[in-house]
Amino acid sequence: MNSEAKLDDFLHKLEGILIKKYNQCVIQSGKFTCKAASNQEVASIGKYVFHVNLISLKKTIDEIEKDIRFIMMRRGSLIGPSRPSLGKIAGVIVYRFSKSQIINLYEGCASCKYQCASKLAYEFAIRCALEYINIPYLRIPQEIRRELIYSLALRHVNQETLGLVFDTMVHHYKIV
């Protein structure tokens, strides 16, 4: 199998994994609590909180695939024969997921003074990236998760920097 066929196979598998992981994160979203509803789990208050735009999800996955292809073409043999590092791919995943409009909040949550769900898209992005590198979300200290969400939401970050952050996490938090 030539290198282009290997890359196509890898990206096809990655797409399936990302859709599966994203769906798992959506299911888990009912587990966060709503302050406006007296700290009940969102799934128990009987209201829709958000909508997942499947067209945007597919477009985002296409962008992730393009970015990884570009990294492979640009760096070639400098990154090794098979693929970029796990952290580099996780950086691409979290960057693209956090910058796209996949999660749309319904009016009740979007206008609520508590804003429990306002950072949901960033949390989903981080969860997907961490699951890709096989690190449980709760294994990362809350301060680091909070800082990642803050940086994604309010600071300029790029795929390269996020790749370094996630490469560091692979080495520091990976379960052996």
Separation of first and last alpha carbons in the chain: 31
Provide the token pair at 12. Answer: 């096809």
- Give the H or E element holding residue 50: strand 50-52
Residue closest to 122 by CA, chosen among 106, 139, 107, 137: 137
Q: Which residues span the domain enclosing 163?
A: 3-173
Q: Note the pLDDT of residue 158.
A: 95
Q: Note the pLDDT of residue 168.
A: 94
Domain count, the chain: 1
Provide the token pair at 114. Answer: 């508590």
Q: Note the pLDDT of residue 132.
A: 85
For the chain, 176 residues long, the average pLDDT of each consecutive 10-residue run is 69 74 64 64 62 85 90 70 80 93 76 75 88 89 94 93 94 80
Q: Note the pLDDT of residue 28.
A: 63
Q: Note the pLDDT of residue 99.
A: 92
- Token pair 């292809």 is at which residue? 69
pTM: 0.79
